[in-house]
Structures are given as C-alpha cells and as structure tokens.
Chains A and B, each alone.
Chain A
Amino acid sequence: MGPLQGRTLSVLLSITGLTVRYGATVALDGLDLTVAPGELFVLLGSSGSGKTTLLRAVGGFVQPEAGRIVLDGTDLGTLPPYRRKVNTMFQSYALFPHMTVATNIGFGLRMQGLDRAATDARVTEMLELVNLAGFGARRPAQLSGGQQQRVALARALAPQPALLLLDEPLSALDPNLRRETRAELVRLQRSLGITFILVTHDQEEALTMATRIGVMRDGKLVQVGPPAEVYEQPNSRFVAEFLGAANVLPAVARESGRRLELPALGASVCTAQAIPAGPLLLAIRPERVRLGATDGLNSVQGVVVDCAYAGESLTHSVRLADGSLVRAMQSLRDGRREIRASVGDTVTLSWQPDACILLPP
C-alpha cells in the first residue's frame, strides 16, 4: 500500500450508524455523515431534530448507543471531550466569568502544555484575528454580546482544533450584527482552513454560509448537499418547506412525460424534466411565481387574499379554487414599479416549467 493510500485525505470526519437515546426518546437514529477537510458544513433543523445532539456526540458530551465517529482516521469511541482534537463554540458561549478575556482564550493552550510566553503570543494573535486587540485584560461580563461571541470563537479556535463545532453561534446576536458576523465567520473559516460544523435553525444562515447543508429531522439527515442543490432540488416536501418557502400542490402524472395534472384545480402544467406516471407533489418557490398571465407558461387562477410589503419584496397570497394558498413574491430590487393587485382581485399566476419542483407524495 502506498503512503497516500493508507488514509483517505478527502474525509476528515466520518460518522456511521450513530444512535443516541435519551431514555425512551431517540435523539439520533442511525445517522451517517461524512465531512471533508476545509468544509463549512451546516446542520439545519428545527429544535428537537437532533442537530445539537449530533454536535455533542462529536464533542464527546453524550455517549452514543451505537455507531462510530472517526476523526482524521482516529475512532473517537469513548474518548472523553478533553482528549478529542475537537473544540466547541457553545451557544451560551460558556466563557469563564472569573478569568480575563486573555486567560479565557489561552485556556486551551495552557491545557495543551504551552508555556506562558507562547500562550500570550498566540492569545494576542487571536485577539487581533477577532478584532478585540486591547480587550485581553477585561472580563467577559464587561463585554457586549457581540464581543463575547468573538471571545468564545477565539477561545475555541486558539488550540487549532482539527474540527470546530459551532452550536447556534449567531443566535444570541441582534439581526444586523448577525448578518455581519456571518460573513466574518465565513472569511475566518476560509483563511484558517479549519473545518467547521455549524448548527443552526436559521435557513438564511445555512444558505449563505454553508459549503454543504445537512437538513435534519427526527434524528436523521433527510438531505445533504450544497446550498443551491438542496434549495433547488429538495428531495421531500419537508426539505422544500423547511429551506425557504414553497407552494405545494398535489399533482398526478397520467403517463410518463412532461405533463402534470392538478386534479383539484382542473388544470395541467408542463415541467422541465420528464416524470414517470403516478401521484406526486408539485412545489414552486414563491419567487418563481409571477402575477399575471404570460404566454407559453403554466398558469392557474385565484383570488388575492393578502398583499405583504417587506421593503425588498412584495408578496401576494392567492387562494386557488381548491382552497390552497399560493404565494407569489416579486423582488423590488430593480426599482421597477411593482405589479400590485388588491385583495379580492381575481388574478392569474404563472411560472416557467423549470420552476416546477417535483416531490414524492
């Protein structure tokens, strides 16, 4: 065996059949996941989906009932957290209140046996990295939420872990700061080359930051892929509705081809991809639905029940004949005068064949 064949360089973390149970509750249900070095992998899921449990299992804070976690060729098995080359940035930050910012950041380095001088040098470097130069002598309680967040990040990054786990790292920040910090975090991750696994329930965060997204539900990963792929080709109604908004209509293909019937509406639509015969669900993203008829496009009719202006976009909610609600969102970024319909107006909604997302029923 050649020197490079001994280990697979494209896999940093490999999880197979991971099962974690809390009493009678199954938190992780035979989960499999592979993460490549340098990735910013985002675990997206609602609360209770098991995403934090997965992070805690990798960190060593919960003992799995079954399955293997292999990091960089080493089976983590029952290794305690302090023996894992994994650091966690906790949701609550968990900064040591009795230590200064510098001591907090240097904690992991001291535990690695680094001497005081080397620790101080690295701490100074880390403080500069997170734009907190000069804050070393303060205590966590004397910092703002955003500054505490950066101390927590610096503390987790200082020992140069092979893998950094971030549990809802931005959830405690206010929305504007969250957007800035998001970009900052991605920049930092790229420049340091440390692999991140980040947990969030915020789909925008997942879409903007991730190299790959894993959508979690009931202790399982239901879909894993790059943001655009998961968004544009969701593999289930759950993913389509969880990641972004989706208008979902029951449909049936009478014969295999590119034609779909919408039985409840008595309409038929064209799809871009060929489909086998059978019942399925048709999903269309609100931003792909246009208000008004356009030649050659799929269209349905309905009555406007709501019109919501959100600054950058305008969303009409339209009730169709079968009672289902379809949202049509138009971007206002072009400064173009929007097409506005009033509540009660009967309108035609149209969309292109390639806007049709086909989901299993």
Chain B
Amino acid sequence: MERRRGVERAELPLTALRDGESGIITSIKAGRGRGGGGRGWGFKKRLMDMGLTPGTRITVVRSAPFRGPLEVSVRGSRLALGRGMAERIFVEIKG
C-alpha cells in the first residue's frame, strides 16, 4: 500500500501532461500485489529498470497521434511508452 505523508498532493497520470511538460514520478500503478508475478508487476519492474523510479523527473517530449504512444525523456534516455502504460504512471508537477 502506498502511504502518503501529510495532505494529498496533486497526482496526475503522465498522459495528462502536455508536450514539453515534465513532472516527478510518484508511483506506477501497474502492480497487482507484490511479487504476484502478474504481467502488471513485470511491466512495473521493466519501467523501473529503465529508470522510471519514484522521485525521478520525467518529461513528455511528444505524443503520437491517434492516442498513440508518448515519447518521454528520463535520466537522459529517450523512450517510447504505450499510452495504456503511460496512463498508469503518476506524476506530480512542482510549481
């Protein structure tokens, strides 16, 4: 379970960001229980292995048309993330 300190802060799915905007990753909601070995768990792990860990800055560079994937920049690398995946990555925009 995710535990939150103090007041809820605005958490947005990555897909809510416009091209060029960036945020700090707060959580990836793809898991179906820890170590359950479900596919969701595997993909969350894959994303983290590619550097998308909580607390990391992520920038949406552009999104492909027709609800296509997002191009993001994270830890200096350029990744394409399917939209379904991106919807489960939550970020916080710091003012």
User: Do A and B share a complex?
Assistant: no
